[in-house]
Amino acid sequence: MDYFKFTCPHCQTRIGTTADTSGHEVNCPSCNGAVIIPPAPTNEGEVPAGIPPAAPGPSGESEAAEHTMMLTKSDFEDEPKPAAAAPGQSGIDPFDGPKIPDMGSLDEGENPFGAPAESPPEPPPEPKPAAPATPPAADHFDGPAVPDMSDLGDNPFGDSATEEKKEEPKPEPKPEPEKREERKEEEEKDEPKPDTAPDPEPAPPPAPAPEPVAAKKKAVVVELIGNLTPEIKCELVQVARSHIDDESKWVHGRATGKGPTLAARKLDGDFVAEKFDSKGATHYSIVGSLFLAMEERNVKSTAGGRSEMLHEEIEDAVRKITGKSKEEKADPLDLSYQDSLKVLDTMYAKYIKMAGGDLTAAPKPMAAEGELKELLEREAMKVTASEVLKVLVAEIDELKKRIDELENK
């Protein structure tokens, strides 16, 4: 038989060839798979060994007949035939790889490459710790949901991009029946009756007229005396003497019988102790009159020379008047009225001497207001500091009055 057909074991394509090509290895013209051409059958209807027959089609012919591809010896006669394997060597070319087994000689279900080698069992997988939740990436942005364009008008984003949301008014809670009636009565009371008009609101009071400049009070800065010089002590003695220049204004230092008495007032023929700077005091002792003079002349309680004047210097004058020695107690509060005046005169003479004045000049009463010419006509040492101060204050007050009169014109 010169011509026969066999089937490609890879793609089931029917390949036609001649008997002289049997035993040659060719590539399938359809799938390019390597195929060894089987020997030609002896009978025309015999199928070559190792090649499965083609499945018959509905017309009685095999479906592969339509795809028959012809091979001739000229298609592969240039290819050298594989050399026969030497004894003890396999017929596998190390460069060509293993030969394709004859698929037609295998039983159904048989593996043409032999049984696979058993692989060792895989170890059970190790439990992996639970991975922490991964935060979304910084560039991940879901964005707002896209509005449904079908339900919106021409502008899906509203009439204005900057339109503010209007808050819907919350419904007021309905009052209970009892409260509703009470509220209705209150509203009826609050409603003005048509016959009576509401009272007009009172007019606001007129604004007070601005005070004139002259009427405003001016701040007076009082300077405190921090050091008692002999001149200031002379003035203090004169002021103290003026408080007790009449016996009706003097009180004994032990008159109340309850400790030292600096000042007092009479109540039902008896003396009641008062503070030396009290407005209710009407009588003063020699010590109380000195305290009051220091208060009126703004002498500091810590002024230099104050303690010496109230203790050492007044006690020295008491000893000189009473004839007591330094070892004996000399209390000015125990003196009579006449001795109190003598003590003040002795202290005044001492301070005049310390200031360099005339010892024979007796203390004169303070000059009246407006007697500045008289003071200027006197000799310098015969004018006391208190007299100068009093006259200067009077002159300053007179100047202020004249200035106020000029401003008000």
Indicate if 335 and 381 belong to the same structural domain. no
Q: Would you list the DSSP string of 291-355? A: HHHHHHTTEEEEEETHHHIIIIIHHHHHHHHHT--TTS---GGG--HHHHHHHHHHHHHHHHHHH
Q: Report the pLDDT averaged over residues 43-59.
A: 50
Inside any domain, residue 207: no
Q: Report the pLDDT averaged over residues 264-273.
A: 88
Indicate if 265 and 346 belong to the same structural domain. yes
Indicate if 400 and 375 belong to the same structural domain. yes
What is the tally of helices (H) and strands (E) in the chain? 8, 10
Residue % of the chain over a pLDDT of 90: 17
Largest CA distance in the chain: 188
Identify the weakest region by mean pLDDT among 9-13, 135-139, 352-356.
Answer: 135-139
Among candidate residues 78, 110, 128, the one where a domain is terminated: 78
Counting the structural domains of the chain, the total is 3
Residue % of the chain over a pLDDT of 70: 49
Quick one: pLDDT at residue 251? 92
Among candidate residues 347, 363, 379, the one where a domain is terminated: 363
Inside any domain, residue 116: no
Q: What tens digit of pLDDT does each residue of 193-219 get? A: 555 555 666 666 676 666 555 445 555
Q: Residue 367 above 50 pLDDT?
A: no
Q: Report the pLDDT averaged over residues 87-93.
A: 50
Helix spans in 214-285 (H): 230-243
Indicate if 334 and 235 belong to the same structural domain. yes
Indicate if 331 and 370 belong to the same structural domain. no
Q: What tens digit of pLDDT does each residue of 74-87 get? A: 666 555 555 544 55
Give the Cα separation of 283 and 293 in Å (integer).
14
Q: Residue 15 above 70 pLDDT?
A: yes
| Nearest CA-CA partner of 36 in 23, 49, 47 | 23
State which residues form the domain around 329.
225-363
Q: Report the pLDDT averaged over residues 218-232.
A: 77
Inside any domain, residue 71: yes
